[in-house]
């Protein structure tokens, strides 16, 4: 008589490392994802459309949007609680977690950290509630890993700014009410808060994606957009502005990827126990058990790493190269886990009846966005040797 199966993360007693409050927040997001996201997301992925406005309002009501920011109707939680929320959201779908990351960690964080009082008061409460959606324009078609080469520029015209250029791979672009756009100026790279109804602002949806289909991805085009002087983010100059925002979002990815991996592994374990071949469950074969055990180890190690980095972040001790360690490891291992789980499900693994290939395809994006695997490898390499190999 087999004993009752344990969940993979129970092997690591992860809950023992969380406070009651952190567990309560995690449980709320998990319950929301189970009830509202998981039953519907395969359909969104299939059709390539998501009810983003409706979801943003629901997520705003829970308090997920900008949850780790203080004031302006944001919940003001710990970084660990934010990470745990990302984990549960991405156990639903990386696209939903991306919506939340871009809203909270990129757009809201940029305004919160570098904005004027007026910019904060205008946008943050509405963005926390989900009634306004934000996007973040840094990457360009020809400048991904090397954003310093960006061509988008803002030129002074009296007190105003005139913004020209384009941005690529912008999550939430077509549904956003406001874009935080980084542009070259005579004074270096500066950030601008651009309402998307500004004349000269165009967003083009990117179609024919095979990944993050339950997420809006866009190209933004700026043609002589006239912005008042007050549109510039006053608090930061140079690339450290956008890069600090990316560190916030990457931090959520450390946890999020482990959520997607957990959902894949739990699905594969349950499938392998039910699925019989040669008159016994495939879970009873040693080849399957080795796969499951190896994946559980990587899932547990990645989750422990994410929690450790989360505690460092809450103590304001975390360094950018440590976030690279986490992003590099966890995105890579999550993708490996998803692929291995896909194999365990055989033909069933390629359908949207099960979440695995959806997670697997999503993780292909997560593997390269927010810093490619290669860039994070070189950041870690630089930390170990003192030599920057990417220049």
Partner 1 sequence: MKIAVCVKQVPDTWAEKKLRSDDSTLDREAADGVMNELDEYAVEEALKLQEAHGGEITIITMGPERAGETVRKALSMGADAAVHLVDDSLHGSDALATSYALATILTGRDFDLVFFGSESTDARMSVVPAMVAERLGVAQLTFAQKVDVDGTSVTIQRVTDYGFETVVANMPAVVSVVEKINEPRYPSFKGIMAAKKKPVETLSTVDAGLEGSQLGLAAAWTVVEDFAARPPKAAGTIVTDEGDGGVKLAEFLATQKFI
| Phi, psi for residue 165 in degrees, rounded to 5 | 135, -165
370 assigned to active site: yes
Report, in Å, the least distance between residue 25 CB and partner 1. Answer: 6
Does 81 interact with partner 1 (rule: CB under 8 A)?
Answer: yes
Q: Is 221 in the site for partner 1 (CB under 8 A)?
A: no
Q: Which two tokens stand for residue 266?
A: 């739990």
| Cβ proximity to partner 1, 28 vs 312, nearer residue | 28
Residue 247: CB partners within 8 Å, gap ≥ 6?
A: 320, 323
129 binds partner 1 (CB under 8 A): no
- Answer for which of 67, 193, 231, 366 binds partner 1 (CB under 8 A) is 67
Q: Are strands 178-185 and 134-137 parallel, antiparallel or unpaired?
A: parallel
Q: Select the span of 28-36, 203-211, 354-362, 377-385 touching partner 1 (CB under 8 A).
A: 28-36
Q: State the number of CA atoms in the 13 A half-sphere of 336 facing the CB.
A: 15
Q: Of 20, 58, 370, 382, which residue is the catalytic one?
A: 370
Main-chain dihedrals φ then ψ at residue 390, nearest 5 degrees: -100, 5
- Could you tell me which stretch among 63-71, 89-97, 217-225, 240-248 binds partner 1 (CB under 8 A)? 63-71
Q: How many residues does the chain have?
A: 391
Closest CB to partner 1 among residues 7, 290:
7
Is residue 274 within the footprint of partner 1 (CB under 8 A)? no
Among 8, 9, 14, 25, binds partner 1 (CB under 8 A): 25
Which residue has 């791979």 as its token pair?
Answer: 169
Closer to partner 1 by CB, 63 or 92: give it. 63
Tokens encoding 31: 């319950």
Could you please report the per-residue DSSP string of 231-251? GB-TT--STHHHHHHHHHHHH
Please, what is the Cα angle at 30 between 38 and 368, to 5 degrees?
70
Close Cβ partners of 285 (under 8 Å, ≥ 6 residues apart): none
φ and ψ of 265, to 5 deg: -65, -40
Specify the stretch interacting with partner 1 by CB under 8 A; choose among 16-24, 206-214, 225-233, 295-303: 16-24
Among the residue ranges 20-28, 241-249, 308-316, 346-354, the one whose residues contact partner 1 (CB under 8 A): 20-28
The set of catalytic residues is: 370
Q: Site residues (CB under 8 A) for partner 1? A: 20-21, 24-25, 28, 31-32, 61-64, 67, 75-77, 81
């Amino acid at each position: 008589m087999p004993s009752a199966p344990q969940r993979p993360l129970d092997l690591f007693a992860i809950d023992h490392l969380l406070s009651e409050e952190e567990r309560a927040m995690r449980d709320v997001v998990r319950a929301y994802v189970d009830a509202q996201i998981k039953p519907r997301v395969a359909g969104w992925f299939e059709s390539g459309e998501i009810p983003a406005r409706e979801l943003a309002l629901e997520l705003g009501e829970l308090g997920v949007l900008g949850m780790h920011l203080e004031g302006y109707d944001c919940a003001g939680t710990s970084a660990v609680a934010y990470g745990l929320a990302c984990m549960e959201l991405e156990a639903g779908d990386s696209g939903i977690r991306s919506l939340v990351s871009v809203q909270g960690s990129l757009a809201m964080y940029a305004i919160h950290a570098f904005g004027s009082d007026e910019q904060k008061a205008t946008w943050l409460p509405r963005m926390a509630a989900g009634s306004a959606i934000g996007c973040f324009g840094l990457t360009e078609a020809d400048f991904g890993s090397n954003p310093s080469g960006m061509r988008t520029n803002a030129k002074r015209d009296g007190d105003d700014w005139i913004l020209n250029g384009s941005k690529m791979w912008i999550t939430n672009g077509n549904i956003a009410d406001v874009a935080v756009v980084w542009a070259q100026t005579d004074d270096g790279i500066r950030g601008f808060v651009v309402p998307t109804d500004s004349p000269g602002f165009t967003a083009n949806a990117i179609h024919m994606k095979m990944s993050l289909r339950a997420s809006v991805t866009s190209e933004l085009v700026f043609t002589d957009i006239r912005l008042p002087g007050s549109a510039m983010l006053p608090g930061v100059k140079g690339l450290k502005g956008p890069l600090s925002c990316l560190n916030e979002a990457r931090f959520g990815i450390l946890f999020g990827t482990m959520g997607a991996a957990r959902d894949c592994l739990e699905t594969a374990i349950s499938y392998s126990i039910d699925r019989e071949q040669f008159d016994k469950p495939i879970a009873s074969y040693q080849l399957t058990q080795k796969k499951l055990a190896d994946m559980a180890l990587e899932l547990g190690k990645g989750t422990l790493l994410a929690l450790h980095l989360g505690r460092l972040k809450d103590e304001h001790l975390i360094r950018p190269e440590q976030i690279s360690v986490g992003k590099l490891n966890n995105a890579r291992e999550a993708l490996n886990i998803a692929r291995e789980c896909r194999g365990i499900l055989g033909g069933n693994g390629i359908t949207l009846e099960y979440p695995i290939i959806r997670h697997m395809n999503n993780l292909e994006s997560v593997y390269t966005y927010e810093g490619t695997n290669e860039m994070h490898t070189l950041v870690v390499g630089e930390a170990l040797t003192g030599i920057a190999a990417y220049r």
